[in-house]
Amino acid sequence: MQHTHDAERRELPTHDLDADALADTWERLRTRAPLVQCLTNRVATALSANVLLAAGASPAMVDTPREARFFAGRADAVLVNLGTPTEESMQGIAEAVPGAVEAGTPWVLDPIGAGGLPWRSGIAQDLLGHRPTIIRGNASEVLGLGGGGGGRGADSTDRPESALPTARELAGRTGGAVAVSGEVDHLTDGERVVLLGHGHPWLTRVTGAGCALGALMAACSAVTEDPLLAAAAATAAYTLAAETSGATSCGPGSFVASLLDDLHLLEPEHLAGRVVL
């Protein structure tokens, strides 16, 4: 039951969201190697798994309705991403999410296309009722999930700051965190707000780069009870690695290979020393 998970969360001290807490979360991710079940889109599957592996987590793409619920009770975290939906993959998600909630497994919702595409907008609304630990999307998707606009395909047509009130409202409803990606990433749990301005423009020129960050947030949610800390640690690590990669690459192709290298090489002390909060 979600209640168990909430109760546990209340009993544990909430970390301050400073550089040390982010670095400590990153350290725990690398040490514990959480098993992350990914129900994600066809475009981002391989990159998401590779990001998890580079970070030290263990991905498992178990998404058939025949196994998804069973496995959600064994995984350390679950990622649900609504890109490239099929009837069967949506049934898999409909099995995995209650399985995660029942087991107290944290889960991340990435509502690709919410607001802009009717079918999956309805699915995203239904999933909201299961109170995702973290919601991750671009500004248009977060606005769409809150009942507003919706973007143009996978790209946002809104700025992240414009989605912050909706993000706070959604976080209030779910009891989790909401992360709005953009030039400056805006993250909130309804009360606290974290702004992170790292990253590189080539992140928007690599397909599935945002989806893979959602997978990394799921991995971090397995090693801290604070959803905002999980979302912020994943964002900080990913966007700091992207800064390094952007500075040493020639274009988006060499950038994505380098991003995996730099995530792999990112030590907790580098994260603590470089992140600007």
Residues contributing to the site for a copy of itself (CB under 8 A): 35, 37, 41-47, 49-50, 53-54, 58-64, 66-67, 70-71, 74-75, 83-88, 113, 117-120, 152-155, 204-208, 249-254, 256-265
Min dist. Cβ of residue 38 to a copy of itself (A) = 9
Q: Is 32 among the annotated ligand-binding positions?
A: no
**What Å distances lie between residue 263 and 51, 74, 260, 271, CA to CA?**
8, 26, 5, 10
Min dist. Cβ of residue 263 to a copy of itself (A) = 8
- Percentage helix, strand, coil for the chain under 3-state DSSP, each rounded to 5: 55, 15, 30
- By C-beta, is 102 or 261 nearer to a copy of itself? 261
- What is d(CA 117, CA 153) in angstroms, rounded to the nearest whole number? 8
Min dist. Cβ of residue 7 to a copy of itself (A) = 26
- What is d(CA 84, CA 241) in angstroms, rounded to the nearest whole number? 27
In this structure, what token pair is assigned to residue 148? Answer: 């507003």
- By C-beta, is 257 or 277 nearer to a copy of itself? 257
Min dist. Cβ of residue 265 to a copy of itself (A) = 6
Q: Decide: 23 and 232 in contact? Cβ < 8 Å.
A: no
Q: What is the DSSP string of 156-167?
A: --S-GGGGHHHH
- Strand ranges (DSSP E) for 66-190? 77-81, 107-110, 134-138, 177-181, 185-188
Min dist. Cβ of residue 22 to a copy of itself (A) = 21
Min dist. Cβ of residue 174 to a copy of itself (A) = 25
Q: For the chain, what is the largest distance between any 2 Cα atoms, rounded to a whole number of angstroms?
A: 49
Q: Decide: 230 and 194 in contact? Cβ < 8 Å.
A: no
Q: Is 90 among the annotated ligand-binding positions?
A: no
Binding-site residues for ATP: 136, 181
Binding-site residues for substrate: 61, 208
Binding-site residues: 61, 136, 181, 208
